[in-house]
Structure 1
Amino acid sequence: MKGREVAFAGLFAALTAVGAQISIPIGEVPITLQVLFVLLSGTILGARLGAISQLVYIIAGAVGFPVFAGLSGGLAVLYGPTGGYLMAFPIAAGIAGLFAEKRRLEYCIFGALVAIGVIYLLGWFRLGLFLHDFRKALLVGVVPFVVFDLIKAAVAVSVTGRVRRALSL
C-alpha cells in the first residue's frame, strides 16, 4: 500500500472511533455516528481501503484501545451485545465501496443501503444470541435505528462525490 492509502485508511479508522463517542444511549445498542463513517470509508475510499480502514478500527478496539462506544475496547466488547454490528463494519464498508466504485449515484445509494442491511443482519443475529430472543433483538437493535441510518446514508452519498474530488480520489 502507498503512504497516502495508509493515511486515508488510518484517518477513517480514527473517524469511526470519534463517531463511536458521539453516542445517544437508548438501550443495549446506542445511536452513534459510526455507521456514517463506515459508509463514508467505503464510498470515498473504495471497497479495499474502506474495508481495511474498518478492519484497523476493529483490531484497535480488540487489542484494548478505547475506540468503541463509551470509550470501551477489548475482546469482551466484540463478544458482547454490539459485537455483531462492529464485526459487520469491514464487510459493510467493502460493500458500500464496491458499489460506489461504479461512480454512479444510484449504485452508491444501493451500496449504502445494502451495507446498512449487512450491519443490521449481523448485529441483529449477535444481539439475538446475546438476549436469547431474536424478536426483542429486532425491536431494540434494528427498528429504532432505521430512520437515523437512512439519514446517515443520505449524508454519506451526498458528500462522497465532493470529497472524492477535493481529495483527488
Structure 2
Amino acid sequence: MAAGAREAPPVINGTPTAGQPIELSVGLPHNLGTRIHLHLTILATSIMLFLSSATLDGAQAGAAMSSFVYAMPDRYNPSQPLTTSLYTQPSSQDFSTRLAKVVVRRTGKLCYVGGSINLANAVCGGTVDEEMEAFRAIVGVVAAEVAKARGAKE
C-alpha cells in the first residue's frame, strides 16, 4: 500500500448475532469506485464467505456465479490446508482457492468461499497489485470479524 493511503473502514449492515450472516462492504483505497461486498457466516466449526464486487459504473449489472471452494485444515501439515473446488470458473478459481487457504490458516476452521469478484473495471484493469490489495482487504476484515466472534463467545 502506498504511503499516505488510508484504508476505508468496512461498512457493516446491522448488528450481527452468533451464527447469523454478517454483510460487509469494503472499499479499496486505490480504487475509490470499487467496493467488495462480503456475506460472512461464522459458525462454531466453519466459515462461509461469499464475495462480489461492484463499481460505480456497473453497479446495476448482476454478477455471474463464480468458483465455490471448500477448504479444511490438514492435521498432518497445518501450513497447507486441503482444498476442493465444488464449482469451478477458471477466471476466479485461483483467487477463491488462495483466499480459502488463508482463511483456514488464520482461523483453524473449515471454510467455504464463493466469489464473483471482477476487478476488470478497476483503475488499472485488474492488475496483480489490485488483486492483492483486494485480497488483503478481504482477509483483514474476515480475520477481524472472526476474532470479534471469538471474543464475544468467551
Give the structure with the higher percent helix: 1
Please report the TM-score for the alignment, with normalisation by the length of structure 2: 0.39
Higher strand share: 2
Q: Larger RCO: Structure 1 or Structure 2 (Cα < 8 Å, ≥ 6 residues apart)?
A: 1
